[in-house]
């Protein structure tokens, strides 16, 4: 029976020290059965949302250790994201990742070259050719409380393949209609060649998010080839249900593989080994819709930061 289930690996890691990180990532990848053939073009997609707060981003050592593993497999590795503010290079420098990547011969790129993704509800959104044209994406989300989505992980991190201001504009276009943002996020995720997901939940962000929350010592590094199963495992760890997490509710409604906890098998360590009792999530969520003034201000800030 377990052969038909989606593997999710939980590994306890107290800190981001690189030697232990290398070993943990290798074990997580091997225990979940993920393999990379030599010569494979891999886009590593961390969460580089903003240079304002390093806690809001995937920790540099997680991304760097993962890149080292992939290079050892013979992969051709690119690291990229489309930040909400500034460029991937600016965020990488602000959080202390640039020199570590440079030692591996990697420069972070801002995902660009938008191409329209036709959505099921009669419109489109611009997603990055840089992401679409790679052989595979290894998704590296940061677990965070979120003021609009309640909590975000692997699936929502792929929304970062939407190019530039289009992410904020999506909130303005789709946010006023209940459920459309969740549908759009799932359709972007489904369009991407995602092969593996490695979640940084060693010190996730709680209380609020996605930028200004507080650290929580969860001590968890988690991985799975299936982003939906990985998020479902985390929702269960946090004691949540689809009634409370609208993105999970939509995944459940669509019966996307991994939505059901019974479809998951845990490898390496059991979820009972991790205590999330004091992990705080927002009690009241903000509207999905961005006001036009906020959108314009955000666009101007982004443009200004890119020319500095």
Q: Which residues contact 2 (CB under 8 A, 6 or more apart)?
A: 265
Q: Would you say residue 290 has pLDDT above 90?
A: no
Domain residue spans in the chain? 2-307
**What fold characterizes domain 2-307?**
Rossmann fold (3.40.50)
Q: What percent of the chain has pLDDT over 70?
A: 93
Q: Would you say residue 306 has pLDDT above 60?
A: no
Find the mean pLDDT for residues 243-258. Answer: 98
Q: Would you say residue 23 has pLDDT above 80?
A: yes
**How, if at all, do strands 142-146 and 194-206 pair?**
parallel
Q: Give per-residue pLDDT as tens, 143-182.
A: 999 999 999 999 999 999 999 989 988 898 888 889 999 9
Q: Give per-residue pLDDT as tens, 79-121.
A: 999 998 889 999 999 999 999 999 999 999 999 999 999 999 9
214 falls in which pLDDT band (50, 70, 90)?
Answer: very high
pLDDT in the model for residue 3: 66
């Amino acid at each position: 029976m377990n052969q038909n289930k989606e593997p999710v690996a939980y590994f306890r890691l107290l800190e981001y020290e690189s030697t232990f990180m290398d070993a943990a990532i290798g074990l997580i990848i091997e225990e979940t059965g993920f393999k990379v053939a030599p010569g494979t073009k891999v886009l590593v997609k961390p969460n580089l949302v903003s240079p304002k707060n390093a806690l809001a981003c995937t920790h540099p050592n997680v991304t760097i250790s993962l890149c080292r593993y992939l290079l050892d497999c013979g992969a051709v590795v690119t690291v990229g994201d489309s930040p909400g503010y500034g460029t991937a290079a600016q965020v990488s420098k602000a959080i202390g990742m640039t020199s570590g990547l440079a030692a591996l011969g990697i420069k972070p790129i801002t995902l660009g070259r938008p191409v329209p993704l036709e959505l099921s509800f009669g419109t489109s959104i611009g997603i990055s050719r840089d992401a679409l044209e790679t052989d595979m994406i290894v998704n590296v989300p940061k677990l965070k409380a979120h003021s609009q989505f309640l909590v975000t992980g692997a699936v929502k991190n792929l929304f970062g393949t939407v190019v530039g201001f289009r992410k904020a504009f999506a909130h303005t276009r789709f946010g006023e209609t209940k459920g459309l943002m969740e549908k759009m996020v799932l359709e972007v995720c489904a369009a991407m060649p995602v092969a593996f997901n490695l979640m940084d939940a060693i010190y996730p962000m709680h209380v609020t998010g996605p930028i200004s929350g507080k650290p929580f010592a969860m001590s968890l590094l988690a991985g799975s080839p299936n982003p939906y199963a990985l998020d479902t495992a985390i929702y269960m760890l946090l004691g949540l249900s689809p009634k409370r997490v609208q993105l999970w509710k939509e995944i459940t409604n669509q019966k996307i593989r991994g939505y059901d906890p019974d479809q998951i098998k845990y490898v390496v360590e059991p979820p009972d080994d991790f205590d999330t009792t004091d992990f705080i999530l927002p009690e009241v969520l903000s509207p999905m819709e961005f006001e036009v003034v906020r959108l314009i201000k955000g666009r101007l800030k982004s443009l200004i930061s890119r020319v500095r």
